[in-house]
């Protein structure tokens, strides 16, 4: 049985005070509504302490959107996972397509971050997904397979419980274009098969695979109804209570 897991990636939105205000409202709404899925929000680094304080006791997980692939040292502008752990953050999104696309993160860099996070007993959401060009060239499966095999290189079977995969087709992010539930489910099924081949059927069956890319209140039910879709990684629609609450209460 896989517990649905819905996450809000705030990206570079909401200041610490805006974020804390909204997170407090979200925590209150979650208490009242009583959601059955796991809920996570990922604000910017500087908003993490205030947001974590605002959701205390609500059961909402607060995560970072990225981290350095080193513990400390001369890496100007970077944030170490030890610093995150020190403020009580134990979950991190890694390999988001915006990190790959705009900041040159390769599968190898992402893998070094995954291994470092796991060594500190952090939970990881590893993002994978193809560009439109790659999809149209028929390379969907080879791209996903490479991102999984390199991204998870040297991750031990016993560590796979700390890994969530987010399938985010790059062409569906922030564009209003969603993969159809069937297309998304097919990609998720491929991801599950690949993880089964790399690890075991058991590990693959327990793996939470989130879909990300223009998830909205109006499409979440159809997406979540699919066998291999276990959650969502939501961008734009995670920034406002009016959008995010109906998404995390989709099953009501
Ligand atoms: P949108 O929901 O805005 O398309 O963003 C998806 C995403 O990139 C979440 O990480």
The CATH number for 226's domain is: 3.20.20.70
Output the pTM of the full model: 0.97
In this prediction, residue 50 carries a pLDDT of: 98
The answer to whether residues 51 and 76 touch, using CB atoms and an 8 Å cutoff, is no
pLDDT by 10s per residue, the chain, length 252 = 899 999 999 999 999 999 999 999 999 999 999 899 999 999 999 999 999 999 999 999 999 999 999 999 999 999 999 999 999 999 999 999 999 999 999 999 999 999 999 999 999 999 999 999 999 999 999 999 999 999 999 999 999 999 999 999 999 988 888 889 999 999 999 999 999 999 999 999 999 999 999 999 999 999 999 999 999 999 999 999 999 999 999 997
Q: Whose CA is nearest to atom 5 of ligand 1?
A: 235
Collapsing DSSP states into helix, strand and coil, what is residue 70?
Answer: coil
Collapsing DSSP states into helix, strand and coil, what is residue 87?
Answer: coil
In this prediction, residue 49 carries a pLDDT of: 98
Instruction: Report which ligand 1 atom has the smallest distance to the Cα of 216.
Output: 2
In this prediction, residue 178 carries a pLDDT of: 81
Collapsing DSSP states into helix, strand and coil, what is residue 233?
Answer: strand
Geometric angle at alpha carbon 50, from 49 and 52, rounded to 5°: 65
In this prediction, residue 114 carries a pLDDT of: 98
The answer to whether residues 65 and 44 touch, using CB atoms and an 8 Å cutoff, is yes
d(CA 42, CA 60) in angstroms, rounded, equals: 11
Number of domains making up the chain: 1
User: Where does 78-231 have alpha helices with state H?
Assistant: 81-86, 97-103, 107-119, 132-136, 140-151, 181-198, 201-206, 220-224
Q: State which residues form the domain around 102.
A: 5-248
**Which residues lie closer than 8 Å to 251 by C-beta, 6 or more apart?**
4, 36, 37, 224
From 95, 99, 233, 237, the mutation candidate for ligand 1 (largest count of ligand atoms within 8 A of CB) is: 233
Instruction: Report which ligand 1 atom has the smallest distance to the Cα of 98.
Output: 8
Which residues are marked as active site? 96, 168
In this prediction, residue 179 carries a pLDDT of: 85
Instruction: Report which ligand 1 atom has the smallest distance to the Cα of 238.
Output: 2
d(CA 7, CA 21) in angstroms, rounded, equals: 18
From 212, 218, 247, the mutation candidate for ligand 1 (largest count of ligand atoms within 8 A of CB) is: 212
Binding-site residues, ligand 1, Cβ < 6 A: 9, 96, 168, 173-174, 212-215, 233-237
Q: Compute the distance from residue 168 Cα to the ligand 1 centre, in Å.
A: 8
């Amino acid at each position: 049985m896989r517990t649905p897991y819905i996450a809000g990636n705030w990206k570079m939105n909401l200041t610490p005070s805006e974020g804390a205000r909204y997170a407090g409202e979200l925590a209150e709404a979650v208490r009242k509504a009583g959601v059955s899925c796991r809920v996570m929000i990922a604000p910017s680094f500087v908003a993490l302490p205030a947001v974590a304080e605002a959701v205390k006791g609500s059961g909402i997980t607060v995560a970072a959107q990225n981290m350095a692939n080193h513990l400390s040292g001369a890496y100007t502008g970077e944030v170490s996972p030890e610093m995150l752990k020190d403020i009580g953050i134990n979950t991190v999104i890694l390999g988001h397509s915006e990190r790959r696309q705009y900041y040159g993160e390769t599968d190898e860099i992402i893998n070094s971050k995954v291994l470092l996070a796991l060594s500190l007993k952090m939970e990881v959401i590893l993002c994978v997904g193809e560009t439109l060009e790659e999809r149209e060239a028929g390379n969907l499966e080879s791209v996903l397979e490479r991102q999984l095999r390199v991204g998870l290189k040297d991750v031990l079977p016993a560590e796979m419980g700390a890994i969530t995969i987010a399938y985010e087709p790059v062409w569906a992010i922030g564009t209003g274009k969603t993969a159809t539930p069937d297309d998304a489910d097919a990609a998720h099924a491929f991801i599950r098969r690949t993880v089964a081949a790399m690890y075991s059927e058991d590990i693959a069956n327990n793996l939470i695979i989130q879909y990300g890319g223009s998830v909205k209140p109006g499409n979440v039910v159809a997406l979540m109804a699919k066998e291999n879709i276990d959650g969502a990684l939501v961008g734009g629609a995670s920034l406002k209570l009016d959008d995010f609450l109906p998404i995390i209460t989709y099953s009501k």
